[in-house]
Amino acid sequence: MKLYKSKKKVAVEGAVGETTTISLYAASFLCGMCVMVLEMAGSRVVAPYMGTSLVVWTSLIGVIMLSLTVGYWMGGVVSDRYPRAALLAWIVGAAALVTAFVALVANPLLNALSRGASNIYLGSVIAAICLFSVPSALLGMVSPFVVRLAINNLGKAGATVGRFSALSSAGSILGTFLGGFVLISLFSSRTILFIVAAVLAAVAFVLNYGGKASKTIPPLMLAILSISLGILNEAGVLPMTPVGLNIDTQYNAVRIMDMNAFGSGRKIRILQTDPMGAQSLMYIDSPSELYSDYTKFYDLAFHYKPDARRALMLGGGGYCVPKHITATRPEVSVDVVEMDPGITAIAREYFHLADRPGQTIYHEDARSFLNREAVSGKGKYDAIFEDVFGSSYNIPFHLTTAECMSKVRDLLAPDGVFIVNIISSIDHNLFSGIYSSIAASFPYVMIFPATYPNDESRRQNIMVVALASEPSHEPEPESAYMEKLLAHRWTRPFSAKIAAFTDAFAPVEKYTVGL
């Protein structure tokens, strides 16, 4: 390469004429978009095997950012040595090919990793590296490469770099909203990866004809496009498209499974949004009957407030508890807050959820609902139930804080009952922090270990029952069923060793990992 100097400008020979400016603009914008769509879809690909905790998101974002950093450096070096549009087309084409390959191998690879990884930190990082490091690095090479090809006047290099950086950022912004608001609600995660592969294949195809044409790229990219579009045609464009036993909703990657109940020949149906456990279990032959032992403890609300007529359930899942209440206590109205409308659709399709008088469903974040209703003055609830989990047994942090519990208390009748499900051990920091948050707003708090009533060190479902006012006496159990539940009450001394969680500081993820 020769540099020609003049008094007015310095031109670079070799980049001019190799590709059209518009194809470089398209490559910069669309590759930036694909990076963010890849990241959004990646969280859904990993979720059924590693969960959706902060640990998983941190691993995914960290690995992709590291891979992009490597790609930026490699792209700068390679583009200086070989500033050819055909080579850029090969890089983008390789990204398309690898992304399509990831879509094909992700499930078996993650299945093997989830079985072999005993540590969620290590497993999440390895999963992110195996699936997303190579396509991210290849896409990272695009930005410095297109800038190198576009610069034909060193006197305007700053403007050129700024223009292409802005285009790449604009593509990333579009990819974020497109992935989060549109694609995830319309397609399965596997299909989204093929969409990304198809877009990259089209970009490579255009870049190839913008410069010195390669005879290999067109048929290869057309093959990727054909395969991707064929899969899109099979998938359709309807939300909640089943993929085997998996269903993707706007917020969750859901598994639906049928199996025999332990110790009996009865069939149960399982809803699973996290590989660490089941979120809802239902007897197929008796949809309103409670299967999970811990869910039966919500009936304690009617022991401590027999005249309860209005209940609020935070977290729908398979709607097992709301169905049970409306079937056994038709006089009680139940409001259910479930963030994911796709979960509600699954409950209607697979868990016999039906519209019933007195049942109202709200599709929004539980904390947003509490914040709004606490100041609305629409009326009080006699009982509020909380059964909301994210990933790896953790309750979303904003539903564990003292501020949240204050909102719950504001929504309760003066003699109302609040019951929350916590997966922990009694002697664990996670339980202590949440207990302290509840105790900050409620004068009378009881602990009911659901499975091991005398073991403080076993991880289990722990039901915390909080009364809005201290009772004058302990009600007598009205049935053998209620007597059995009351027998689980923790009567040993308990002192929380962790201060109440707050909206400013609630290290739920930190404590959850140690469970």
For residue 91, the domain's CATH number is 1.20.1250.20
In a domain? residue 279: no
For residues 348 and 487, membership in a common domain is answered with yes
23: Cβ contacts below 8 Å, ≥ 6 apart: 85, 206, 207, 210
SS3 442: coil
* SS3 at position 221: helix
**Residue 159 pLDDT:** 84
Question: Is residue 218, in this structure, part of any structural domain at all?
Answer: yes
Pairing status of strand 460-467 against strand 412-424: antiparallel
**Together in a domain, 219 and 343:** no
Which residue type is seen at 86?
A: A
Its pTM stands at 0.73
Tokens representing residue 206 in the block: 């255009």
pLDDT at 393: 65
Task: Say whether both 100 and 196 belong to one domain.
Answer: yes
CB-based burial label for 116 (10 Å; 0-12, 13-18, 19+): exposed
In angstroms, what CA-CA distances link 246 with 233, 283, 319? 18, 20, 19
For residues 221 and 369, membership in a common domain is answered with: no
**Which range of residues forms the domain containing residue 422?**
287-513
Which of these, 315, 185, 318, lies nearest to 252 by C-alpha position? 185
Rg of the chain, C-alpha, whole Å: 28
What is the Cα 72 distance to its own chain's centre?
29
In a domain, residue 248? The reply is: no
Q: Distance between CA 374 and CA 283 in Å, rounded?
A: 36
Q: Nearest CA to 54 among 513, 515, 514?
A: 513
Quick one: 218 and 362 in the same domain? no
Question: For residues 250 and 271, is the Cβ–Cβ distance under 8 A?
Answer: no
Torsion angle, alpha carbons of 363, 366, 371, 375, to 10:
60
User: Which residue type sits at 228?
Assistant: S
Contacts of 130 (CB under 8 A, 6+ apart): 109, 113
Residue located via tokens 């059209």: 20
Rounded Cα distance between 439 and 451, Å, is: 23
CB 417 within 8 A of CB 382: yes
Residues 197 and 346 in one domain: no
Residue 255 belongs to some domain of the structure: no
Tokens of 128: 């992110």
Q: How far is CA 239 from CA 160, 163, 224, 250, in A?
A: 41, 37, 24, 8
184 is written with which tokens? 């995830």
Pick the last residue of a domain from 238, 268, 295.
238
> 511: helix, coil or strand?
helix
**Do 293 and 221 lie in a common domain?**
no
Q: How far is CA 152 from CA 5, 157, 210, in A?
A: 13, 8, 16
Residue 436 C-beta-side C-alpha neighbours within 13 Å:
15
**Six-digit token string for 511:** 């404590």
Q: What is the DSSP letter of 152?
A: -
Please report whether residue 251 resides in a domain: no
Q: What is the CATH number of the domain that holds 482?
A: 3.40.50.150
321 and 456 in one domain? yes
Q: Is residue 258 part of a domain?
A: no
Give me the helices (H) in 211-264, please.
217-235
Count of structural domains within the chain: 2
d(CA 87, CA 74): 13
- Structure tokens belonging to residue 243: 């993929």
Instruction: Mark whether 21 and 118 lie in a shared domain.
Output: yes
Write out the two tokens for 247.
Answer: 């269903």
Q: Is residue 264 part of a domain?
A: no
What are the beta bridge partners of residue 38? none
Per-residue pLDDT of the chain (515 residues; tens, 9 = 90+): 343 343 343 333 344 444 477 889 999 999 999 999 999 888 878 876 776 667 788 899 999 999 999 999 999 999 999 988 888 988 998 999 899 889 888 878 887 887 666 677 788 899 999 999 999 999 999 999 999 988 865 567 888 888 899 999 999 999 999 988 888 767 778 888 888 998 998 888 888 775 555 566 666 666 666 565 555 544 443 333 333 367 778 778 788 888 888 777 799 999 988 766 788 999 999 999 999 999 999 999 999 999 999 999 999 999 999 999 999 999 999 999 999 999 999 999 999 999 998 899 999 999 999 999 988 878 899 999 999 987 656 788 899 999 999 999 999 999 999 999 999 999 999 999 999 999 999 999 999 999 999 999 999 999 999 999 999 888 999 999 999 999 999 999 999 999 999 998 988 877 876 55
The pLDDT of residue 416 is: 97
In a domain, 276, yes or no: no
- Amino acid 243: pLDDT: 34
Q: What are phi and psi of 425, to 5 degrees?
A: -110, 155
Return the H-helix or E-strand segment holding 268: strand 267-272
Whether residue 342 sits in one domain with residue 221:
no
pLDDT at 213: 52
Looking at the structure, tell me whether residues 132 and 206 fall in a common domain: yes
Q: How far apart are CA 211 and CA 144, in angstroms?
A: 17
Q: b/e string for 170-204 if b means 16 or more Cβ within 10 A?
A: ebbebbbebbbeebbebbbbbbbbbbbbbbbbbbb
318 with 427, same domain: the answer is yes
